[in-house]
Amino acid sequence: MPILDTRVPAVLLRIDRNPFHHGTLGAVRSLGRAGVEVHVVADSEGSPVRRSRFVSGMHPPPPPGSSTADIAAVLRRVAARVSRRAVLVPMDDASALAVNRLGDELTVGYLLPEQPHALAERVADKAELAAVCESVGVPHPVTLIPRSPAQAAEAAWQLGLPVVAKWSRPWLIPAGTGLRSTVVVHSVQEARALYLRTEDAGSRLLLQAFLPPGPDLDWFFHGYVARSGVTHGGGPGRKHRAWPRGAGLTAVGRWTPNPQLQALVERLTEALGYRGVFDLDFRRDAATGRYHLLDFNPRPGAQFRLFEDGAGLDVVRALHLDLTRRPLPAPAPRPGRAFVVENYAPLGALRPRSAGRELAWHARDDRAPGRAMWGLWARHVSLRLTRRVGRLLRRPAAAAETNGTTEAVGTTAEPREPTGAPGVTVPEAADAAAAVMERPVITSADPAVVRPRGGPVARKDPRSAQVPAPLTARPAGHVYRSLADDEKASSC
């Protein structure tokens, strides 16, 4: 393990209220095991993280939706309590963007990477990311940005159903709206109805070409770009199991060498001048072999501990070493190393544990968080099941009241849980691949279009079309299928 400067504490910041964010626990353990004093600014109510023996202090976070000034005030209070300059580690998108905006204002109490101004916001914003990929030549799914409900319906036809719908700034979605950061849309009526929720979501709606999931198609890349511009502490990984199925967070991942993906990532970070920790999500197009960048998270990914190398380096330790002016050890990759999130992949966690595998919650030197997680998870699942049974029991009565009348578009969708709860809905994204519809389109200049880069599409496919044409709406009858909240909310 590299020798960290234990005189310099660390402060982990997470605004998201997800109690099952295992990435925060991973950062606590990574730094705590190295002897660093770790303070956590996050919601501690019921959180298993607070049970870790490596936590030196828990501090109340700013509430969701806080202004940048409110977040700065909280961080100043924490800095006064810690009383020494600390390495600041944002653990979710909202935290990372606030820290990037505040910049020099925080340097009195914290050590931070010298990130180009507003770069974190550009790459985290789904609409801006499409433009960033276009500018640097990184493949990205065809992305349309409708400006009206009619354009949303036309764009869905143009891309070829099903399509992926995303809110450009998912961290702005208020709790309790029932909106998901990412869904699969199966009809033009759904696309139109979703656009009408734009004001509720707080950011623009994007429609993207649907790249079907499949074996060996979902990849991620974690790393830390040091002051020197060299990437440390991470590598490429393959997603073996996701929760929800198809495109959710990584439940089982494996460190898998991929020179093509590594070269693409290094070209991207160099072109942007990026500095700091990052977590990238890719999907490989099975027809073309190109890796399409789906998400750029300017903070540690929840499964970053997968990439602890033979020298004991991961992205969080690399950050601490670099900001305290300590040398970073030479890379010592451990391909084949696995990471399992027990509550999302319990069967995988029950298999005999090898030296090359790490569990997200259970650790022999820190058992309390794992025990607390299972108790909390059991209550969470029980509550979800109770609510779902209640909805199923209410449906016959509702059907009797309608007496056969036709429902309005969008009312067939099942009520959604607040976005603050982890995404435990089982999606049908894999089945949706079979529903892709072929249809010729006519060029028109309606919605804003961001074209992908990385070479021509070598087949006829509505996903390669760039602009929607006005077409007749299809019948309603499908419901939104959840892809993931992420980590994305953090998260995923």
Which has more pLDDT, 402 or 239?
Answer: 239
pLDDT for 149:
97
pLDDT for 76:
97
Give tens-digit pLDDT for 5-57. 999 999 999 999 889 999 999 999 999 999 999 999 999 888 999 999 999 99
Task: Enter the pTM of the model.
Answer: 0.81
Give tens-digit pLDDT for 116-146. 989 999 999 999 999 999 999 999 999 999 9
Which of 298, 342, 300 is closest to 27 using CA atoms? Answer: 300
Which has more pLDDT, 39 or 347?
Answer: 39
Q: What is the DSSP string of 439-475?
A: --------SEEE---SS---S--GGG--S----PPPP
Which has more pLDDT, 402 or 383?
Answer: 383
**Mean of the per-residue pLDDT values of the chain:** 84
Give tens-digit pLDDT for 195-227. 999 999 999 999 999 999 888 999 999 999 999
- 3-class secondary-structure state, position 352: coil
pLDDT for 152:
98
Q: How far is CA 467 from CA 306, 349, 443, 448, in A?
A: 40, 46, 6, 8
pLDDT for 2:
82
| Predicted confidence band of residue 391 (pLDDT cuts 50, 70, 90) | confident
Which has more pLDDT, 480 or 135?
Answer: 135
Phi, psi (5° rounding) for residue 233? 75, 15
Given CA atoms 274, 278, 281, 282 in this order, what sign does their dihedral have? positive
Highest mean pLDDT among 12-16, 399-403, 414-418: 12-16
Judge whether residue 459 has pLDDT over 80: no
CA end-to-end distance (rounded Å), the chain: 28
Residue 342 CA to residue 324 CA, distance in Å, equals 34
In the chain, the amino acid numbered 10 is: A
pLDDT for 481:
36
Average pLDDT over residues 314-343: 96
Residue where the block lists tokens 């380096």: 313
Please list, in sequence order, all residues whose beta carbon lies within 8 angstroms of the beta carbon of residue 265, skipping any fewer than 6 positions away: 221, 223, 231, 236, 280
Contact criterion met (CB below 8 Å) for 155 and 144: yes
Contact criterion met (CB below 8 Å) for 204 and 446: no
Average pLDDT over residues 291-296: 97
Residues facing 110 on adjacent strands:
86
Percent of the chain with pLDDT over 90: 70
Contact criterion met (CB below 8 Å) for 219 and 238: yes
Phi, psi (5° rounding) for residue 446? -105, -90
Give tens-digit pLDDT for 43-75. 988 899 999 999 999 999 998 889 999 999 999
Judge whether residue 440 has pLDDT over 90: no
Average pLDDT over residues 282-300: 97
